[in-house]
Amino acid sequence: MILLLSVDLDVDFDPRLTALRPLGGFFVLRASRPSPPRPLPTLAHAYAPVYGAATPDVQLPAREDPLAFRVRKVAAALRVPEIRVAASVAQQGLAARLWSVTLGCAVLYGGDPDLAPRLLHWDPDAGAPDDLWLAGVKRLPGDAGTIAEVVLDGHLAPLTAALHARYRVATGLLWGNAASALAGAGRELDRWSRRHGRAHAAAHARSLTAGLMAHPLLAGTGTLTGNGFRRRSCCLYYRAPGAGVCGDCCFSHPPRCPQSRRSSPGAPSG
């Protein structure tokens, strides 16, 4: 079924992934060989556990500790005193990029590029959405199982471990972020496909999203109904000055006393 839906679009798998460009924003991936025009760390470098012993406020350059640099940048942009809020928001933004690229390629090309962390360069000093460069395109299957291996096992599991160890962000919250980002990427791809008269692509996007949401790491993080998603946790964004709750939050209104609440794995966080 996946191959039939992809062939209907009649798009070749090209090394520059140009079919993603019309989707814009979170879906676009810079594909270059052999590397970006200036040195950028890889995501494998960002996830490295060697930084786990460092304190969150250590001021290292982006090239030496890209994950901490990104979290500090997000904290400054949001003006939040709690570093774990920035860590949560940063993680969700990167998850949205990874889901968007893989879903977009699977639907438009019928396959996915190998996005192994050692191949994917990241600019932690860029604005949103995260700026990613892929050094060379190697085709992988575009089924839900392969996407789960690429995104969940290859990226989000080590990223979750790093953020939990360094910033004490609850793992349940972070997996809720991952599910929320997946639902958002699938919803945008479905909408884009329907606007352009690509009913098969829209159905493919919905099917992949639902299949990935059933993965053990994401199952139980919320409820997916069509394109709508309601999560069981909170990303903590409401703690930023002037912010409210997100559309899929477990809270209908920001809690009145955030300082009295502590997030915990497997439970609503806020």
263 domain residue, yes or no: no
pLDDT for residue 62: 58
Stated pTM of the model: 0.87
Token couple for 180: 């929320």
CB burial string 190-201: b at 16+ within 10 A, e below: bebbeeeebebb
For residue 85, give every residue at least 6 positions away whose Cβ sits within 8 Å of its Cβ, in sequence order, or none: 75, 78, 236, 237, 239, 240
Token couple for 143: 């089924």
Token couple for 22: 């019309």
Measured between its terminal Cα atoms, the distance across the chain in Å is 41
Looking at the structure of the chain, the number of domains it has is 1
Question: What separation in angstroms does the CA of 236 have from each of 23, 86, 232?
Answer: 28, 9, 13
92 domain residue, yes or no: yes
78 domain residue, yes or no: yes
**Could you list the residue range(s) of the whole structural domain that residue 31 is in?**
2-48+57-244
For residue 51, give every residue at least 6 positions away whose Cβ sits within 8 Å of its Cβ, in sequence order, or none: 65, 67, 68, 162, 166
pLDDT for residue 61: 61
pLDDT for residue 114: 96
Alpha carbons 126 and 122: distance in angstroms, whole number: 9
**3-class secondary-structure state, position 140:** strand
194 domain residue, yes or no: yes
268 domain residue, yes or no: no
pLDDT for residue 38: 75
258 domain residue, yes or no: no
pLDDT for residue 254: 86
pLDDT for residue 12: 65
Tens-digit pLDDT string for the chain (270 aa) = 233 333 334 356 788 899 999 998 999 999 866 667 678 999 999 999 765 545 555 555 656 899 999 999 999 999 999 999 999 999 999 999 999 999 999 999 999 999 999 999 999 999 999 999 998 889 999 999 999 999 999 999 999 999 999 999 999 999 999 999 999 999 999 999 999 999 999 999 999 999 999 999 999 999 999 999 999 999 999 999 999 999 988 988 888 644 434 333 333 333
pLDDT for residue 58: 53
pLDDT for residue 120: 94
208 domain residue, yes or no: yes
259 domain residue, yes or no: no
pLDDT for residue 262: 39
**3-class secondary-structure state, position 60:** coil
pLDDT for residue 260: 37
